[in-house]
Amino acid sequence: MSENNDKPKSHEAFAQILREYHAKLGTIINNLWKSKVDDDYEKSDDYQAALAYYRQFKQVEGVNYAAVLEYAKELHERHEKIDKSHDEKADSIIKYLGGGSALITFGALLSIKTDTRATCILGLVAILCLIPSLFAAVKAVSSAIKVRHPRAATSLPPITFAVDMAHFHQPQPEALAVNLWLILHPICEAAHFRNLQKAKLVSLAHSWYRLAMVLLFLPVAGITATLIAFLAK
C-alpha cells in the first residue's frame, strides 16, 4: 500500500477526523471536571448542518474565495472575543458580589450585641432581613461560576491534520487554503452554541445580582420598623 493511500481521500474522512478530535478534547475536559453542564454542541442543529456542509463542500473553479477566508477568520475571532467577554462578566460578579456578600454577612454578625434586649433584637432583625439578599447573591455567584465551568472544546485540529490536507491538495495550493479555513465553519457554530449557553447564564447571574441589590433595602426597612416599634412603646 502506497503512502498516499494511507491519507484521507474525501471531505467526509476529514470531517470524521475533526469530529473525533473534538470528541477527544471533550472527553479530556469531562475527565478533569466530572460535573456536567448543558454544553453538548453536537446536539445543535446548526453544528450538524455546518459539519454536513463541510463534508459535502466542493470547490468551484474560477471562484475567488479570498473574501470567504477573511470572513471565516474574522468570525472565528469574534466568537472568541464574545466568549472572553462572557468570562470577564462572570468573573466580575464572582469577584465583587461574592466578596461583598461575605463582608456584609460578617459585618452583620459582628453587629449583633447582647448588651440589652433591644440591641439583640435589632441585630437579629438585621440578620433575618439580610437572608433574602444573601440567597440571591449566592444564586448569582453560582450562575457566574457555571459560566467559568470547563466545557466541551472545539478548536482547530492538530498540525498533522493540516499536513494530510496538504498532501491531499498538493497540486492545488489555493484549494488547500480554502479547505483548511472551511474547518472554521463547524468550529464557529460550536463556539456560537457555547456562547449562547454562557450568555443565558450571564443574564441569569445579572438578574440575581440585581435582585440581591434590591433586597438590601430589607435590612434598612426592618431595622427602621423595629426602632419605630421601640419608640412607640
Q: What would the pLDDT profile of 72-131 be if each residue is shown by its tens digit?
A: 889 989 999 999 999 999 998 888 886 666 656 655 555 566 567 777 777 778 788 888
Across the range 199-203, mean pLDDT stands at 93
Give the least confident one: 27-31, 43-47, 153-157, 219-223.
27-31
In tens, the pLDDT along 11-25 reads: 666 666 666 666 666
In Å, how far are 54, 158, 226 from 9, measured between CA atoms? Answer: 14, 18, 80
Q: Residue range 197-209: average pLDDT?
A: 93
Of all residues in the chain, what percent carry a pLDDT higher than 90? 14
Mean pLDDT of 202-224: 87
In the chain, the amino acid numbered 226 is T
CB proximity list for 100: less than 8 A, separation 6 or greater: 137
